[in-house]
Copies of this chain bind each other. A is one copy, B any other.
Amino acid sequence: MKKIKDSTTEQQILEAAEKLFYERGFAMTHTTDIAREVGCNQALVHYYFRTKEKLFESFFKTKVQLFISAFLTAGNEETTFEGKLTRKIEAHFDILRKNPRLPFLLFNEISVNPQRVESFRANLGDMPQLLLKAFDNEIEAEAKEGRIRRIPAIDLILTIISMNAIMFIANPIIKALTGADEKEYEKMLGRRRKENVDAILRSLRP
């Protein structure tokens, strides 16, 4: 009666949708494109996901969680503040490297369609506020020891996100400005990963 295992088709559709949403965003990805990508009939896309909007959301939600969780999990095994922070920055960078189009899509779709912030908020609850408070405390403790200057946690987080994300968001512009090809760009990425950690740690010195 019931499907035991996800037949591969539904999964395929989701994957094709992911690829195309990444490449073109929501508005410019059509259900016909998705079907063509999978090699199935366009009606199937609607059969499984009803509407394009619902398909997008089911893709979007999992990605939002992925994007956020980088900060939460990484670096907790480290003992020093500097060690923890370094690992968090690196982990964030690495997840972006694996999903280079993700930050862009995130910012884009939320901008164009502000209601999506709700799905965002619903997924996270008040975790952000708690996280910020905890982070503020850590900073305060470290500052009390005189090892770093005081800075609001939100500013530090924004700095990390922005410095890491820019390489992926601005990828085509950077290539155009610098004339770098794909290979050189990869090298830049490796350098930038170190540079970001370095610059951020320096910027925190008292």
| A interface list, Cβ under 8 A from B | 24-25, 27-28, 101, 104, 106-108, 110-112, 114, 117, 120-121, 128-129, 132, 151-152, 154-155, 158-159, 161-163, 165-167, 169-179, 188, 191-192, 195, 198-200, 202-205
Among A128, A170, A175, find the residue whose CB has the most chain B CB atoms closer than 10 A.
A170
B161 touches A163 (CB 8 A): no
- CA A152 to CA B198, docked complex, whole Å: 13
- CA A129 to CA B179, docked complex, whole Å: 8
Q: List 21 A-B contacts (CB under 8 A).
A: A24-B112, A27-B27, A28-B112, A104-B107, A104-B111, A107-B170, A107-B173, A110-B172, A111-B171, A120-B176, A128-B178, A132-B178, A154-B178, A155-B195, A158-B170, A162-B165, A163-B163, A199-B203, A202-B204, A202-B205, A205-B205
- CA A79 to CA B139, docked complex, whole Å: 36
Residues on B with C-beta less than 8 A from A129 are 178-179
Check A120/B173 contact, CB under 8 A, given A108-B108, A178-B128, A202-B202.
yes
- CA A78 to CA B11, docked complex, whole Å: 59
- CA A73 to CA B158, docked complex, whole Å: 27
B27 touches A177 (CB 8 A): no
> Nearest 6 pairs between A and B by C-beta?
A162-B166, A199-B203, A27-B27, A203-B203, A162-B162, A128-B177
- CA A169 to CA B117, docked complex, whole Å: 14
Residues on B with C-beta less than 8 A from A167 are 158
Among A120, A162, A195, find the residue whose CB has the most chain B CB atoms closer than 10 A.
A162
- CA A165 to CA B170, docked complex, whole Å: 11
- CA A132 to CA B176, docked complex, whole Å: 13
Residues on B with C-beta less than 8 A from A200 are 203
Residues on B with C-beta less than 8 A from A114 are 172
